[in-house]
Chain A
Amino acid sequence: MPITSAPPEAAVLPRRNRKAQRGEARAGVLFALPWIIGMTLFVAIPLVVTFYIAQTKFQIIGAPKWVGMQNYEALWSDPAFWKSAQNTLIFAAISVPVKLIIALGLALLLNRATALSGFYRTVFYLPFLMPAVAGSVVFMLLLTPNAGPVNIALEAMGLNPPDWLLDPKAALWTLILLSLWPLGVETLVFLGGLQNIPKDVSEAADLDSPKRWHKLVWITLPLITPMVLFNLVIGIIYSFQVFTQAIVIGGTTGTPAEATLMYMVVLYRAAFRYFNMGLAAAMATVLFVVVLILTLLIFKTARSWVHYEGGET
């Protein structure tokens, strides 16, 4: 399995290398040291401190005061917490799988050599380069009710288009729709997987079964399950933290009617509008535990559905 695999340990080394080995080991630690310090300072310690702050009343000024589980109790009875958690769960539960399916479809379409392949690849990748703020602003213009070009076009076709981002019932779904636009990375990761499938495997499958979808289901999909796992885990972690699009479109109140209120926005609001660090930290720890459980569950089930080349993991 690639994530933890290491360069092959050398076979038995001649004796003279004892010293050299020790020198290499020392160099190894030294070279990794800045990063080990960085990880400690910027990941490990903050993680622990977040759990501490979550149990305090802390408003930036003054010292944190221990309050035990009070912040969690406050969250439990906070409608904004529940509303944003619900919005974020719906967002993630739909955006992630739909995005993966579309990305996989595009990768399958891209997986053939034509004169225009390079062009298509570039086009599908471009949205990823668009700053999320700029992209969201452009979509707000495109989807303006009545006067925006999308609704003008839909009305011209005799349809009755929704008010998209201004309609409390449609806004969250519009946000999900917009999140599907930048899927270039996922697509290229899938494409990389497809292009790594050995030619002989692919050709043998062509001979074995004339039906294309047989090949897709029984040969292609199993061989790219590692990429599915990668895209799934990264996708879940990122979509639980969706922030930029939500705050550009809905502000800190999740307009309209809290329909676009996301978890990260409520956390941001608690920390930097109300300076309630304890509550914000409590929200962060809840998200951490949820993401951790989800990730562990995915990795645990991955044993049964992810296929690694060579069979061993």
Chain B
Amino acid sequence: MSRQRKATPSARIGMLTYHALMLAISAVFLLPFYWMTISAFKTNAEIFSNPVTWLPDPIRWENMTSLLTREDFPFVQQFVNSVFYAGTVAVLVCLSCSLAAYSFGCLRWRGRNLVFGLTVCALLMPTIVTFLPIYLAWSKIGLTGTYWPLITPFLFGDAFFIFMLRQFFMGVPRELLDAARLDGASEFRIWWQIVMPQLRTPLIIVGLFATVYTWNEFFLPLIYLQDREAFPLSVGLFTFQSQRAVEWSVSMMGAFLTALPMVALFLLTQRLFQRGLSSTGLK
């Protein structure tokens, strides 16, 4: 269709209008990123200059060094916490969720559809309805203030990622599994040595999703952690912002450096990401 129209001038005008529109929309979407980035390298006075300046001049690199050395915003420690938190959850999700996904996608057993149906219910269950008793239990054991309450649930799995992975496990050909079974391989070996290597790409996708979700998670670390030194970046930035609302250049540098790793990760792996999205089970 587009091939036939390409030559005509009206089609060319149409194409130009299309790109003009799309670029304008893109600019709106990118503006907050852009503003955050340039503000991170300005002084407070420069941030609120009138008329606005579109480029920091000079570039205030010292904002970065001063952020990294502040006592009231232990950025480096919180960065390490976030890496630990997101990394651990991502690895656990890949392992625990693929166990359940293998069961739902590759094995036949009575009650499977029921349990999977319950998984969908769990997926739709608002966090708000379940977090109080869980919090009280952790506080009874005396483990609030640590990362245990944030990480332990992922040892067992997560409804969303099981749902997502199951789609990929369903695509593993039955014949492959049956052949391995005839050779006498145990189900555990089939899962670990045949299916998991085959699904390396989907597993990386799920790991990336888990990393982004955990990196940006706010509510649970907020209720479980108390010390500034223990916070992940999301909570650290919130605490700093709510206490020092006037130091915009530090807040912006903090926001910039918090968002940067995820944006970079996404840009480096965006092909995988988009494949992951198009297969969230909605065909």
Contacts and interface: CB of A to CB of B under 8 A. Distances in A.
B241 interface: yes
Contact of A123 (B29, B181, B259, B280): B29
A244 B48 contact: no
A211 to B, nearest CB: 15
Interface residues of A, number: 106
Contacts of A28: 103, 107-109, 112
Contacts of B136: 53, 60, 277
A20 B109 CA distance: 12
Contact of A43 (B22, B35, B130): B130
A32 B128 contact: no
Interface string B2-26: 1000000000000100110110011
Nearest to B240: A137
B90 to A, nearest CB: 15
Contacts of B29: 123-124, 126-127, 181
A27 B282 contact: no
B237 A31 contact: no
A248 B32 CA distance: 16
Interface string A20-41: 1101111111111011111101
Given A53-B133, A129-B259, A131-B259, A25 B219 contact: no
B216 A132 contact: yes
A34 B282 contact: no
A192 B278 contact: yes
Contact of A32 (B19, B104, B188, B262): B104
Contacts of B254: 134
A288 B130 CA distance: 10
Q: Among B32, B235, B278, find the residue whose CB has the most chain A CB atoms closer than 10 A.
A: B32
Contact of A35 (B47, B162, B187, B215): B162
B132 A24 contact: no
A277 B132 contact: yes
A280 interface: yes
B78 to A, nearest CB: 12
Nearest to A291: B126
B156 A116 contact: no
B32 A35 contact: no
A46 B107 contact: no
Contacts of B235: 133
Nearest to A283: B128
Nearest to A54: B132
A312 interface: no
B201 interface: no
B106 interface: yes
A127 B32 contact: yes
Nearest to A287: B128
A222 B72 CA distance: 54
A302 interface: no
Given A109-B21, A116-B19, A129-B263, A7 B105 contact: yes
Nearest to A185: B277
B248 to A, nearest CB: 6
Contacts of B18: 109, 114
A148 B48 CA distance: 6
Interface string B64-97: 0000000000000000000000000000000011
A133 B109 contact: no
A122 B96 contact: no
B30 A126 contact: yes
B258 interface: yes
A50 B126 CA distance: 12
A122 B174 contact: no
A26 B35 CA distance: 57
B273 to A, nearest CB: 8
A132 B223 CA distance: 16
Interface string A270-285: 0110000100110011
Interface string B100-138: 101111111111110111111010111111111111100
A218 to B, nearest CB: 18
A25 B115 CA distance: 14
18 contacts: A7-B105, A7-B174, A31-B107, A35-B103, A38-B155, A39-B157, A42-B134, A112-B2, A119-B26, A120-B26, A126-B266, A141-B251, A149-B35, A152-B50, A153-B52, A241-B126, A251-B242, A284-B128
> Can you list the 10 inter-chain pairs with the closest CB atoms, starting with the nearest?
A38-B156, A28-B109, A31-B103, A27-B187, A134-B255, A28-B107, A49-B133, A35-B100, A46-B130, A35-B157
Interface of B: 1-2, 15, 18-19, 21-22, 25-26, 29-33, 35-36, 39, 47-48, 50-52, 96-97, 99-100, 102-113, 115-120, 122, 124-136, 139, 153, 155-157, 159, 162, 170, 174, 181, 187-188, 191, 212, 215-216, 218-219, 223, 233-235, 237-238, 241-242, 248, 251-252, 254-256, 258-259, 262-263, 266-267, 270, 273-274, 277-278, 280-283
Given A24-B107, A31-B102, A133-B218, 9 more contacts: A4-B116, A28-B103, A34-B96, A39-B122, A42-B153, A126-B30, A131-B218, A284-B132, A288-B128
